[in-house]
Homo-oligomer: A and B are copies of this chain.
Amino acid sequence: MSHNSFGHLFRVTTWGESHGPAIGCVVDGTPPGLRFSESLIQTWLDKRRPGQSRFTTQRREPDEVRILSGTMPGEAEGELIATGTPIALEIQNVDQRSKDYGDIARRYRPGHADVTYDLKYGIRDYRGGGRSSARETACRVAAGAIARLVVPGVRLRGALVQIGEKRIDRTRWDDAEIDRNPFFCPDPVMAAEWEDYLDEIRKAGSSVGAVVEITASGVPAGLGAPLYGKLDAEIAAGLMSINAVKGVEIGDGFAAAALTGEANADEMRMGNDRRPLFLSNHAGGILGGISTGQDIVARFAVKPTSSILTPRRSIDAEGNEVDVMTKGRHDPCVGIRAVPVGEAMVACALADHVLRHRGQTGRD
């Protein structure tokens, strides 16, 4: 079952609400002997942490992770060695201004999970969005940091390729740019343009959507469990489970619908390493649900957050028709912080499939 768990052999279970005392996760199935530290995990969390630029929520959370189980101290200062038992990770919630949310305790923000949580459970933690808050994604990033250790040869590179209607120019793609601007944008020209555009959006109390692209290099061939545990199916599930995501593509994705078989065929020659050498990558590194050894390319669309200043028509929990506007601190473009989250989900899917593949076939 998968209420709040992702993966099978490498299995992440998250818990926690935006304004509770803490959030956290349990990472089960980690190979014993992995070496890491709290500060390594912190590095990844810091990439996602809010309040780092004016383009993400001004909530200030140190997001300090604590590891509560599943490790023994290593020889080096702060070094931890995984023992193979569950690793519990915990992050305290510090900056909870619950009063900000008092006026929407009973009102449903249009386009938000407020209403569906009430429809499902008959009760919900309205404070800061409760369980549906993007705050939960900190746990995904922390779990992803451990997943990366399980697939040490894999390099994950997330980037924002579209904000609103403004797309990057791929001819300007420069990996080094990604860490130089607050948008994870590989196109320096577009990064500058986004800056002005998002300033406008932010000042207007509005929000806007985005598209994130994750590339995983160095993925071993053979990962994936067809037919229902296909690698792309699990990546799709992982990415679609991130807050506000409305679409997922692998490789050419929706553009593949417009191709002919001739154009779509990734031709092969023999590589010097006696492995197939693909001459193109329309497939995004996955054929028949199994990795080819090429780069895995996944994209996902993030809708604009529903927390905006402009009043929208809605109802409240008693059924009264009301207008709703959100005054709390929010992201003008929640897609920005989704970049490290997307990387983490792909890392978790790969870690799970590396273990499953090794289990079934005895090969790495």
Q: Is the CB of A267 within 8 A of B70?
A: no
Query: Given contacts A120-B357, A257-B335, A359-B9, is CB(A88)–CB(B262) below 8 Å?
Result: no
- A106 located at the interface, meaning its Cβ lies under 8 Å from any Cβ of chain B in the complex: no
A310: shortest Cβ distance to chain B, in Å? 5
Q: Is the CB of A254 within 8 A of B254?
A: yes
Contacting B at CB under 8 A, from A176-228, are 201, 206-211, 221-228
Q: Give chain B residues whose Cβ lies under 8 Å from the Cβ of A310.
A: 261-262
- A305 located at the interface, meaning its Cβ lies under 8 Å from any Cβ of chain B in the complex: yes
Q: Is the CB of B307 within 8 A of A32?
A: no
Q: Give chain B residues whose Cβ lies under 8 Å from the Cβ of A154.
A: none
Q: Is the CB of A246 within 8 A of B241?
A: no
Over the window 49-82 of chain A, the binary record of Cβ atoms lying under 8 Å from chain B Cβ atoms (1 yes, 0 no) is 0000000000000000010111010000000010
- A362 located at the interface, meaning its Cβ lies under 8 Å from any Cβ of chain B in the complex: yes
A184: shortest Cβ distance to chain B, in Å? 15
- A40 located at the interface, meaning its Cβ lies under 8 Å from any Cβ of chain B in the complex: no
Q: Is the CB of A110 within 8 A of B33?
A: no
Contacting B at CB under 8 A, from A75-127, are 81, 83-88, 108-113, 115-117, 119-125
Q: Is the CB of A16 within 8 A of B233?
A: no
- A171 located at the interface, meaning its Cβ lies under 8 Å from any Cβ of chain B in the complex: no
Contacting B at CB under 8 A, from A290-328, are 290-293, 301-308, 310, 312-315, 319-321
Q: Is the CB of B274 within 8 A of A68?
A: no
Q: Give chain B residues whose Cβ lies under 8 Å from the Cβ of A361.
A: 31-32, 84, 120-122
Expressed in whole angstroms, the Cα–Cα distance for A252 and B276 within the complex equals 38
A291: shortest Cβ distance to chain B, in Å? 7
Over the window 143-181 of chain A, the binary record of Cβ atoms lying under 8 Å from chain B Cβ atoms (1 yes, 0 no) is 000000000000000000011110000000000000000
Query: Which one of A14, A85, A112, A315 has the highest number of Cβ atoms from chain B below 10 Å of its Cβ?
Result: A85
Copies of the chain in the assembly: 4
Interface size class of A (residues with CB under 8 A): 35 or more
Expressed in whole angstroms, the Cα–Cα distance for A357 and B168 within the complex equals 42
Q: Is the CB of B248 within 8 A of A207?
A: no
Expressed in whole angstroms, the Cα–Cα distance for A8 and B237 within the complex equals 15
Query: A1 contacts which of B11, B256, B262 (Cβ < 8 Å)?
Result: B11
Q: Give chain B residues whose Cβ lies under 8 Å from the Cβ of A84.
A: 120-121, 123, 360-361
Q: Is the CB of A26 within 8 A of B28?
A: no
Query: Which one of A122, A234, A279 has the highest number of Cβ atoms from chain B below 10 Å of its Cβ?
Result: A122
Query: Which one of A20, A87, A268, A356 has the highest number of Cβ atoms from chain B below 10 Å of its Cβ?
Result: A268
Q: Is the CB of A226 within 8 A of B131?
A: yes
Query: Given contacts A15-B88, A164-B257, A247-B256, is CB(A265)–CB(B208) below 8 Å?
Result: no
Q: Is the CB of A228 within 8 A of B241?
A: yes
Expressed in whole angstroms, the Cα–Cα distance for A359 and B150 within the complex equals 11
Q: Is the CB of B86 within 8 A of A4?
A: yes
- A342 located at the interface, meaning its Cβ lies under 8 Å from any Cβ of chain B in the complex: no
Expressed in whole angstroms, the Cα–Cα distance for A201 and B262 within the complex equals 11
Q: Give chain B residues whose Cβ lies under 8 Å from the Cβ of A209.
A: 256-259, 264
9 A/B residue pairs, CB under 8 Å, sorted by A: A2-B228, A3-B227, A4-B85, A83-B121, A116-B288, A119-B222, A132-B288, A233-B236, A262-B308
